[in-house]
Structure 1
């Protein structure tokens, strides 16, 4: 796991998306929001995807792409996107390699039981491929708007 901090080069990635592979290089010269979430069609993850979708037009006006990443399959993402009319790109990382590279595969604790899982986290990557902002242990309410505000402030 890399130390993903603001100002550092964003870890490279290639993920499976609905329209083929998504790579960091595809966004060269343009900012991208990469957000990691635990599971399709669960309460918090659905709300987060809906919030990013609601702000999609504003992200596009700011020239920023939004990509949600989980370990779910491309087929699961397609079903999830269709069910909730999501417009954000969803990418699959079934082996969790990119999730780990961004430091979002962490030990969690629920009701005293420890297990490994995806930490809800978001990374704003500038057009030069550097980490502009990092949000860890994201609380969904208001998060998409916080990210949009930061994205609009990019030089």
Structure 2
């Protein structure tokens, strides 16, 4: 089953999920800010750690350009808290254990993993404007170098 992908120009599906501190975070609460919403397979795995640390290392330039970074995975809030503390991550991590938000964004579905088709998280990033409209939808991104490519796409210097 292939997930339905979101396109730029559409309004991002709203949601409320628990963050790493078990506090509810709603996408609607972020209206008025530009948001980089990224979905990753699992906290504390090599690729996801690389990607999260790249966001951490770029946070000042992203925030300076007006962006709020939010990561979403199926991990529990406790695991997200451990990930955030272990790697000194400075942005919210949200828990979507039943992958309902993943499905709404088209990032849960079939993907290739070591030559086999499996169902799981498709590493993806969405850029939302202040009204919650998707301005960029990037599916199947590579963890390594993704943040640098995203900054280039957005015209943000390091």
Provide the TM-score with structure 2 as the length reference: 0.89
Q: Are residues 1:76 and 2:79 paired?
A: yes
Q: CA RMSD in A?
A: 1.7
Residue in structure 1 matching 2:53, options 47, 50, 54? 50
Aligned position for 2:89: 86
Q: Are residues 1:119 and 2:122 paired?
A: yes
Runs of 4+ in 1 over 6 A off after TM superposition: none
CA contact (8 A) 1:62 1:151 kept: no
The separation in 1 between residues aligned to 2:81 and 2:116, in whole angstroms, is 31
The separation in 1 between residues aligned to 2:50 and 2:39, in whole angstroms, is 13
Q: For structure 1, which runs of at least 5 residues remain unmatched after alignment?
A: none
The separation in 1 between residues aligned to 2:52 and 2:61, in whole angstroms, is 15
Provide the TM-score with structure 1 as the length reference: 0.91
Residue in structure 2 matching 1:96, options 85, 99, 106? 99
Q: For structure 2, which runs of at least 5 residues remain unmatched after alignment?
A: none
The separation in 2 between residues aligned to 1:69 and 1:151, in whole angstroms, is 21
Q: Secondary structure at the match of 1:81?
A: helix
CA 147–112 in structure 1, closer or farther in 2 if over 3 Å, else same: closer
Aligned residues: 153
